[in-house]
């Protein structure tokens, strides 16, 4: 019996090392593959457009050949971002912030060593739930979509993938969203109550010289923005005219929230 206490102590030490009295041995966890990557970047557009100068007899701006820098930021605010694998499967989604930046964590499973494709849509998701889609025309069912080529260094835990929309690739779609975003936010803080109808904005190069607002549907405001006449550099290209886009937003607000029409003038009136 003189050896009983040391034996008990030794047994207790072994049990403690085995994880206590639950009868199971708990080994150290097996390291898992590092398959999480953060994909981050900025979605932007070339903030240039037709040079605008002079006024016609109706006080409308006339476009001239050449380009002029926009004063607006080049980021695409609150547009949806999808991160795809090389087979086209969606790995993660998010929205850009108000400056056009985004960040999303994605899991590559057992195949971390690969690149990604980042895809965006010309859809402004406003904080209060309203969406503004930019589509080529009223017959289109999908907004403008742009994506990167396969990008990113798979050895980096943070993969930076930027996307900038060129002038001839539809940059004007995001330029107009840049104009509409602050206008909607300001209006929502002051005058808008209840449901705020979505907006479909129709624009494509060469769709004509006339811009207009259509409020015939109670659940959807429809705005057409002039993309000019193909081959005529002096025709209206209102997608680059901040005052026209702002006026069209004003017509939308007047129609749905004050039940009145805009004052004399039309969507092309830059005054």
Provide DSSP, 69-87. Answer: E-SS--B-TT-EEEEE-TT
Q: Would you place residue 239 in the very low, low, confident or very high pLDDT band (cuts 50, 70, 90)?
A: confident
Q: Would you place residue 69 in the very low, low, confident or very high pLDDT band (cuts 50, 70, 90)?
A: very low
H-run or E-run covering 217: none
Q: Name the residue among 226, 202, 229, 79 with its Cα closest to residue 136.
A: 202
Percent of all residues in the chain with a pLDDT value above 90, rounded to a whole number: 39
H-run or E-run covering 192: none
Percent of all residues in the chain with a pLDDT value above 70, rounded to a whole number: 69
Task: Report d(CA 21, CA 261) in Å as an integer.
Answer: 80
**Start-to-end C-alpha separation, the chain:** 106
Q: β-pairing, 80-84 with 117-121?
A: antiparallel
Token reading at 88: 């086209």
Question: Which residues have a Cβ under 8 Å from the Cβ of 267 and sit 6 or more positions away?
Answer: 210, 211, 212, 213, 223, 224, 225, 238, 244, 247, 248, 251
**So what's the pLDDT on residue 196?**
82
Q: β-pairing, 220-224 with 198-202?
A: parallel
Task: Report d(CA 146, CA 191) in Å as an integer.
Answer: 34
**So what's the pLDDT on residue 45?**
81
Helix and strand element counts for the chain (H, E): 3, 15
7: phi then psi, degrees, rounded to nearest 5: -65, -45
Q: Would you place residue 120 in the very low, low, confident or very high pLDDT band (cuts 50, 70, 90)?
A: very high
Q: Percentage helix, strand, coil, to 5, in the chain?
A: 20, 30, 45
Q: β-pairing, 101-107 with 198-202?
A: unpaired
Q: Do 60 and 75 touch, CB atoms closer than 8 A? A: no
pLDDT tens, residue by residue, 121-158: 999 999 888 999 999 999 999 999 999 999 988 778 89
């Amino acid at each position: 019996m003189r050896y009983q206490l040391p034996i008990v102590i030794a047994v207790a030490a072994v049990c403690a090392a085995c994880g206590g009295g639950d009868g199971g041995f708990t080994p150290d966890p097996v390291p898992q593959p590092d398959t999480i990557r953060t994909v981050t970047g900025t979605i932007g557009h070339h903030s240039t457009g037709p040079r605008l100068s002079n006024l016609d007899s109706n006080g409308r701006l006339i476009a001239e050949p050449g380009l002029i820098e926009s004063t607006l930021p080049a980021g695409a605010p609150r547009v949806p971002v999808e991160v795809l694998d090389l087979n086209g499967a969606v790995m993660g989604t998010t929205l850009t912030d108000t400056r056009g930046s985004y960040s999303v964590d994605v899991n590559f499973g057992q195949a971390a060593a690969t690149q990604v494709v980042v895809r965006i849509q010309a859809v402004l998701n406003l904080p209060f739930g309203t969406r503004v889609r930019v589509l080529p025309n009223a017959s289109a069912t999908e907004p403008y979509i742009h994506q990167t080529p396969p990008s990113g260094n798979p050895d980096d835990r943070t993969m930076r993938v930027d996307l900038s929309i060129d002038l001839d690739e539809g940059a004007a779609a995001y330029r107009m969203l840049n104009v509409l975003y602050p206008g909607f936010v300001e209006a929502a803080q002051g005058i808008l109550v209840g449901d705020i109808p979505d907006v479909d904005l129709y624009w494509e190069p060469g769709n004509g010289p006339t811009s207009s607002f259509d409020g015939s549907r109670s659940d959807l405001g429809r705005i057409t923005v002039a993309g000019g006449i193909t081959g005529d550099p002096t025709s209206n290209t209102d997608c680059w005219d901040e005052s026209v886009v702002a006026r069209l937003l004003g017509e939308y607000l007047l129609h749905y929230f004050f039940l009145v029409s805009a004052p004399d003038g039309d969507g092309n009136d830059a005054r």
